[in-house]
Amino acid sequence: MIVLNDPHLANRIPDPAIPSLVQQRFSEVCAGEPYDYDLHGYMVVVEPGDSAEALEREIGFPILRNSFDNTCYGEPDFTPSFEALEEHESCYEMVFIFNGEGFGVGIFIPKQHGVDGDLLAMCAEYAVPAQAAALA
């Protein structure tokens, strides 16, 4: 898992399709201001071999479980807790906002062999195409 708490760290991402998207999101979140972790939050890139549980520990929030009623992904009444989930050509982009000031985390989940199967399945089920999300 690659934790990015500085926009300049995007070059550490090995998947060539993801760094420019991460840099774009940092730019949008900062809106011309200097990056401030406490204000703008951070980004995470999931890597093959990372479990959904490890990702949940990193962000301190459930992903495959609803935070209000504890239903789990795969149960009939499950509703995900993310703010947004977009599908890009090479990855999914999931966003959680943790406070009223906008502090949150952007999670990039590559569509690669070795990435947690339940995480990819949930993303495939609930994601909206990135272009459709931009038009909404």
The pLDDT tens digits of the residues spanning 35-83 come to 989 889 999 999 999 999 999 999 999 999 998 999 999 999 999 999 9
Q: What is the pLDDT of residue 63?
A: 95
* pLDDT higher than threshold 50 for residue 118: yes
Number of domains forming the structure of the chain: 1
Q: Are 96 and 109 in contact (CB under 8 A)?
A: no
* pLDDT higher than threshold 70 for residue 134: no
Domain that holds residue 18: 2-135
pTM: 0.92
* pLDDT higher than threshold 60 for residue 135: no
